[in-house]
Chain A
Amino acid sequence: MQIVFDYYNYWICIILMMVGFYGVIAKTNLVKKALSLSLFQTGILVFYISIGKVEGGTAPVLDKSVDNPVYSNPLPHALMLTAIVVGVATLAVAMAIIVNIRERYGTIDEQDLEQLEHETQD
């Protein structure tokens, strides 16, 4: 049990990522697939942020009133801001394509799409 509680932040990342990964693979609805992808990315965001945490550290703002302050590492946070933007863009592009698919095929279910494509060999 010790290993579960000592590394609980990693466990949360792993659970989030695997839930997302499962969704990407197993769901046939394209919207659910795109959202699972987003969940998968969130798992990575949490992972990065948790590795930047320093025990007892505060927010990295220069504070002259405290002697020898301990700061958390701000770099992973800055990186993840970029990654969040990338994630949002990915989701937006995915949704735009899905809307287009709905207009052209009339369905967003992967199995139906496969069947439709199988019928019309073009």
Chain B
Amino acid sequence: MGLITSIIGRRGLGWYLAMGTTAAVLAMSIQLLANVLDSGTQTVTYLMGNWPTPFGIGYVVDPLNASVLVIVSIISAVVTLYARKSVASEIAHNRLHFFYALWLFCITGLLGITITGDAFNLYVLLEISSLSTYTLVALGRNRNRRALTAAINYLVLGSIGACFYLLGIAYLYMVTGSLNIADIHNILVNKVFPTWGTDAPQYRTTVIAGFAFMSVGLSLKLALFPLHGWLPNAYTYSPSAVSALLASTATKVGAYVFIRVIFTLVGVNFAYTVLHTDTVLMISAGAAILFGSWMAFRQTNVKKLLAYSSLGQIGYITLGFALGNVGGLTASVIHLFNHALTKGGMFLALGVVAYRTGHTRLKDLQGLGRKLPLTMAAFTAGGLGLIGVPLTAGFISKWYLVSSCIEAGRYEMAAIVLIGSMIALLYTWKVVETIYFGKRDENAPVVKEAPVTMLVPVLLLAGGSIYFGIDASLTSRVATAAAHFLLGGAP
């Protein structure tokens, strides 16, 4: 268990170290998930330096973050395997070890955010992963200089988001005098909230202001609809492997932190019943689904299309936890996993196109179905997953989402999910049609199938997204456990 920490502070000495580390982390996090699900209390804790938790910093693992850990480590291991060839073609050779050092820092930060039980520690790890992400995005400069402006834009917005989160913790610290998430929750629920019904409500404004700052900050990190400005360009212009890693882990971890803050820090009762945050989140989520899908349809650069589609998928995830019932949370957690597989696979497949042709514009994909049969089949499988066709992973999460929308009496949100899927059908069809029915330019350079180390990850993720669409028992068991844990632990 404590071995998870061993990745912290590790400097990458090249691809081999990165690969070894991510593979080891994958094995450990799967083991951890199994442990958590088997243990009676459903939590595993690790105290750093053996200091008891309100004083020391503890790692707390419950079904929710164990599953997010597995998502992050699966994606990072698979993408690292892929990165070797892909990154070597996009970054100068004498800088490669720096790339892998940043890469590991980023993954460390993401895993750390997921596992920590301390609100301030979470901020520090958030900044570790964000700072390395800004740099990784900027490394796309060799192919397109717009990576630089995308990176600075992301840096400014990301830092403001992190600062807002930090300010939010300051307010909660003023009220509770604690930084441990479970401890803050206990103090709020047992000492602060009961006074609100009386004539002398304590710290009401302070807690509300703190939660508001944290929500806005995290929405920025998560790229929830009105605060998504940094996302499309950052995903489009970063190196292929980085896009895949970001799209399938970074925003997922943002969503996880938001779930954590709402359900285990301030409590669902405060967030949804007292403050009606759920209404705000649902409006943003609905807008994100419609806007993201529509903008995706309008793009001519396929990478940007996928980036906007991610925006819509973030909307689905947010909608899931905004519903606040067991079904919605289950849908949210399942979609975290399924979307990570689907979108990761699609970005990797697109990375193969970039590796072979140097571009990701729609017209460069014309007729590639015959040249890159396996890669393009994987891409299409991912696209079907985005629409939510039965027998793909996307179907499972949308099924849960729509049925829990109806269960909560939110018929309009169910309708928005379905409309979003229709638009996804349009934009996926646009790409698939180009791939299979487009005529390849006579003068276009000859394109071969991807090298093995790139092909295997693409097929793994695409295969995974189909496997978990056919046999969803594993994912839904884990997600249901997480949802019950969150709502059972909440007052």
Residues on A facing B (Cβ under 8 Å): 21, 24, 30, 33-34, 37, 40-41, 44, 47-48, 51, 75-76, 79, 82-83, 86, 89-90, 93-94, 96-98, 100-101, 104-105, 113, 117, 122
Contacts and interface: CB of A to CB of B under 8 A. Distances in A.
Contact of B160 (A24, A75, A94, A98): A24
A99 to B, nearest CB: 10
A95 B241 CA distance: 25
Contact of B138 (A34, A97, A105): A97
A117 to B, nearest CB: 6
A44 B127 contact: no
A43 to B, nearest CB: 9
A44 B167 contact: yes
A79 B120 contact: yes
B151 interface: yes
A113 B149 contact: yes
A100 B148 contact: yes
Interface of B is mostly: helix
A98 B145 contact: no
B212 interface: no
B134 A97 contact: yes
Contacts of A113: 149
Contacts of A75: 179
A117 B134 CA distance: 20
A13 to B, nearest CB: 9
Interface residues of B, number: 27
B170 A90 contact: no
Contacts of A101: 148-149, 152
Given A30-B152, A94-B152, A48 B170 contact: yes
A101 B141 CA distance: 9
Given A34-B156, A44-B170, A47-B170, 8 more contacts: A37-B159, A47-B167, A76-B173, A89-B131, A93-B131, A97-B151, A100-B148, A101-B149
A12 to B, nearest CB: 15
Nearest to B121: A82
23 contacts: A33-B156, A37-B159, A44-B166, A48-B170, A79-B179, A82-B124, A83-B123, A86-B124, A90-B131, A90-B155, A93-B134, A94-B156, A97-B135, A97-B148, A97-B152, A97-B155, A98-B152, A100-B148, A101-B148, A101-B152, A104-B141, A104-B145, A104-B148
Contacts of B145: 104-105
A96 B152 CA distance: 10
Interface string B103-125: 00000000000000000100110
A90 B127 contact: yes
B275 interface: no
B144 interface: yes
Interface string B166-194: 11001001100001000000000000000
Contacts of A47: 167, 170
B490 interface: no
Nearest to A33: B156
CB-based closest 7 A-B pairs:
A104-B145, A86-B127, A101-B148, A97-B152, A97-B138, A100-B148, A51-B174
